[in-house]
Amino acid sequence: MPVAIQCHDLRKTYDGKVEAVSGLNLEIETGECFGLLGPNGAGKTTTIEILEGLLEPTSGKVTILGHDWQTNARELREWLGISLQETRLSEKLTVRETIELFSSFYREPRSSDDVLADLQLNEKADAWVGKLSGGQRQRLAVATALVGNPKILFLDEPTTGLDPQSRRQLWDIIRTFQKAGGTVLLTTHYMDEAERLCDRLAIIDHGQLIAEGTPSDLIDRLGGHHVVEFSVTGNSDAAALDGWRALPGVDSVRHDDGLVCLNVREPHRTIPALLDAVHNQGSKLLHLNTRQASLEDVFVRLTGRHLRED
Amino acid sequence: MTVSQQTPPTEHHVIPTPPKRRNGRWSGFAHLLMARMKELKREPEVIFWVFIFPLLLALGLGIAFRNKPADVTSIAIVAGPGADKAMSLLEPRKSSIHAEVLDQSLALQGFRLGKYDLVVEPDANIGFRYHYDPARPESVLSRAEVDAALQAAAGRKDPLPTSAVTSTEPGSRYIDFLIPGLLGMNLMNSGMWGIGFALVDMRQRKLLKRFVATPMRRSDFLMALTSSRLVLMIIEVALLLGFGVLVFHMRVLGSILTILLLGAIGAVAFGGLGLLTASRAQKIESVSGLINLVMMPMWIFSGVFFSYERFPAIVHPLIRALPLTALNDALRATILQGASLASQSGRLLVLVLWGGISFVLALRWFRWT
Ligand SMILES: Nc1ncnc2c1ncn2[C@@H]1O[C@H](COP(=O)(O)OP(=O)(O)OP(=O)(O)O)[C@@H](O)[C@H]1O
Ligand SMILES: [Mg+2]
């Protein structure tokens, strides 16, 4: 597979002090849906805008479809479809007028009617942008990115603030684009979105890559695929944590929000042992829950923090 | 179920073969211009400030300062011997001189308050003494008029027979002075706001950044913005001049083409200035302040509402170097006196320099993101 997006040792320092991106290497293949995942301020927008040629990196090299921004900007613009984290399109234009405006910039755009239909904006075609709901605005933003018939789609937090149904609609649109051969780079801080939509992920924090791979890879790397969360009466200090780690089948242990979290490989071996241990201690079990490990657990494991602090 | 009832399964997302549609070189420009015009049309505030407000100003000021027949002058005559004589001597001129007999103190007090233009005091030897204020034009006029009336009534014969023809010519009235000034001011306002403010607003909304993320030519974008100003300029000129002609019977001596050319040069020059004020600002609040700061001196000095000849002669060259002064002077010369463009090369040069230098600097500093 040829490489669609590549960057090497990317760095960006704002005003000589804030280091938003520090030494990032990425390689995204054609036809892939690649996700940049990270908490607020991780440097996702900075990274994606450098790749989009909208921001100068402090240092580092960017190659898009084999070209770079210094020599081939005009061609590259024809091939990319971009939706920024926040753009307020003109409120007094209709949806159709907005799409036609953006399509007029490209040499060979898609027909506006097709794009309207694909994004389910038909009914709203003649409504002013100012009268759209948040979800409709997001879809319109993606429509303006798709109308140029791009090879690569860049989406910066396309689903933030949307209800679950609107998010799924957008996921469908992105998958359709990908099925037709397009490459997608998106940023998100929704774990479930990354897990379902992306072929590969890069988790970044403080401008640095802390893990990269397919969603299942990343979860595999945790060791245990299952998480057992519980709380008991009595002490919960570090010594107690060591006690839990000694239980059979436990990969790792941590405290999370008043609960003890165990990453386990075989819950059917761990849970009976856990119950016995609690009983022998003479304490009581207040809460017990088991679930599949998720990217959230990966993130917490890697950084000691949650992805979304809300 | 028969075969004919079965609908074949519809493939939903069959990859569409995109209908090939090719955009020409000017498609982006045309759409940008169209979008801008539509936006302006749908913005009631723009319609009001650009089109209605100047007409209201012209109407209000035109009525307030319309040329009235010379006022009746009010004078006080100090009571005492001789007052009755003065009253009877002035009787034939009742229509233009309104006289009252009062005590000296009351008369002088009324004079100080501006109620009377003149106080006439009969003196000991059958003559009169005038109290008047040489710094008040109406007081000076009143004294001359009353004196002439008294002397004539007392039997003075003029040695030279004279007669007068009165006329109130369109072209020399306040409204004739005002309308070209309002036109210039309007071109400045809408150039600065229509370009400067609009650009910063788009920058703040990240729309400029979104545009440069497409293959849009940046020059097309700026040209479209300028062209939208030119279209509006034509409407502004037509409305204000049409209003002057229809409502105030103003006479336009210059050719429409010359006036439009001047309007275009003015609109583009102020567009350049607007672009410069907008080149860096990230917030509409900061650009609003900047625009007002740039325009304020010109509202005062550039002879919109009154002639800048009233300022000391020493600052006239500075005032004439302001772009709005150049535009107003050129518009007045063309509209009121029919002057050609060639005869105003100095003023045109001022406009072109302001516009050109601003534009070059603006392009150097301009931030799209
Ligand atoms: N124009 C700027 N000037 C100075 N600092 C900036 C600028 N833009 C971003 N930063 C800083 O750089 C860091 C990374 O910001 P960035 O917008 O890339 O984060 P992000 O991952 O997109 O966050 P979010 O999820 O909130 O969108 C932050 O600390 C931010 O404060
Ligand atoms: Mg961001």
Q: Which residues pair with A208 in a beta bridge?
A: A205
Which part of chain A is CATH 3.30.70.100? 225-292
Region class of A43: left (phi > 0), else alpha (psi between -120 and 50), else beta: left
- Which amino acid is located at B252 in the chain? V
- pLDDT, residue A112, reads 93
- pLDDT, residue A113, reads 94
Domain residues of chain B, as ranges?
A: 73-153, 170-365
For A111-149, what is each residue's pLDDT tens digit? 999 999 999 999 999 999 999 998 899 999 999 999 999
Which part of chain A is CATH 3.40.50.300? 5-218
Question: How far is C-alpha B27 from the chain's CA centre?
Answer: 37
Whether A185 shows a pLDDT value over 80: the answer reads: yes
- pLDDT, residue A247, reads 87
- pLDDT, residue B173, reads 83
**Spelled out in words, what is the top-level CATH class assigned to the domain A5-218?**
alpha beta
Judging contacts by C-beta atoms under 8 Å, the chain B residues touching residue A100 are 31
Task: Kindly list the distances between the CA atom of residue A16 and the CA atoms of A12, A13, A20, A52, A208, in Å, as whole numbers in the listed order.
Answer: 9, 6, 11, 22, 18
Is the CB of residue A153 less than 8 Å away from at least one CB of chain B? no
d(CA A115, CA A106) in angstroms, rounded, equals: 14
Positions in chain B short of pLDDT 70:
1-20, 67-71, 166-170
Residues 6+ apart with CB under 8 A from A160: A85, A188, A189, A190
| Residue B176, SS3 per DSSP | helix
Whether A43 shows a pLDDT value over 80: the answer reads: yes
Strands B118-122 and B128-131: antiparallel
- pLDDT, residue B167, reads 61
* Interchain CB distance below 8 Å, A77 and B215: yes
- pLDDT, residue B3, reads 44
Is the CB of residue A17 less than 8 Å away from at least one CB of chain B? no
d(CA B52, CA B49) in angstroms, rounded, equals: 6
Sign of the Cα pseudo-torsion (A71, A29, A178, A49, in order): negative
CA end-to-end span of chain B, whole Å? 63
Is the CB of residue B31 less than 8 Å away from at least one CB of chain A? yes
Q: Kindly give the distance from the C-alpha atom of residue A303 to the centroid of ligand 2, in angstroms, as a whole number.
A: 19
Pocket test for ligand 1, best of A18, A187, A299 (most atoms within 8 A of CB): A18
d(CA B279, CA B366) in angstroms, rounded, equals: 4
Regarding predicted confidence, which is higher, A251 or A171? Answer: A171
Domain A225-292 in CATH 3.30.70.100? The answer is yes
- pLDDT, residue A293, reads 81
| Residue A189, SS3 per DSSP | coil
The position carrying tokens 């979105």 is A193
- pLDDT, residue A47, reads 96
Q: How far is B218 from chain A (nearest CA, A)?
A: 11
- pLDDT, residue B185, reads 95
Alpha helical stretches, state H, B42-173: 44-46, 53-64, 83-90, 104-112, 137-153
**Spelled out in words, what is the top-level CATH class assigned to the domain B73-153?**
alpha beta
Q: Give the CA dihedral B177, B183, B184, B189, nearest 10 degrees.
A: 140
Q: Which of B343, B351, B309, B71 is nearest to B177 (CA)?
A: B309
d(CA A49, CA A69) in angstroms, rounded, equals: 12
Give every strand in the sheet of B118-122, ordered side by side: B97-102, B73-78, B118-122, B128-131
* pTM confidence score: 0.82
Tokens encoding B282: 């990230």
Question: How far is C-alpha A7 from the chain's CA centre?
Answer: 18
**Are the CB atoms for B113 and B57 separated by under 8 Å?**
no
* Interchain CB distance below 8 Å, B210 and A101: no
Q: Which of B352, B330, B321 is nearest to B180 (CA)?
A: B330
**ipTM of this predicted structure:** 0.88
Whether A227 shows a pLDDT value over 80: the answer reads: yes
- pLDDT, residue B20, reads 62
Tokens encoding B281: 């600002």
Tokens encoding B83: 């007052």
Find the residue in B nearest to A93 (Cα). Answer: B39
Q: Kindly give the distance from the C-alpha atom of residue A51 to the centroid of ligand 2, in angstroms, as a whole number.
A: 14
Q: What is the mean pLDDT of chain A?
A: 89
Judging contacts by C-beta atoms under 8 Å, the chain A residues touching residue B13 are 176, 179
Q: How far is A29 from chain B (nearest CA, A)?
A: 21
Regarding predicted confidence, which is higher, A11 or A261? Answer: A11
d(CA A82, CA B65) in angstroms, rounded, equals: 58
CB atoms within 10 A of CB B206: 17
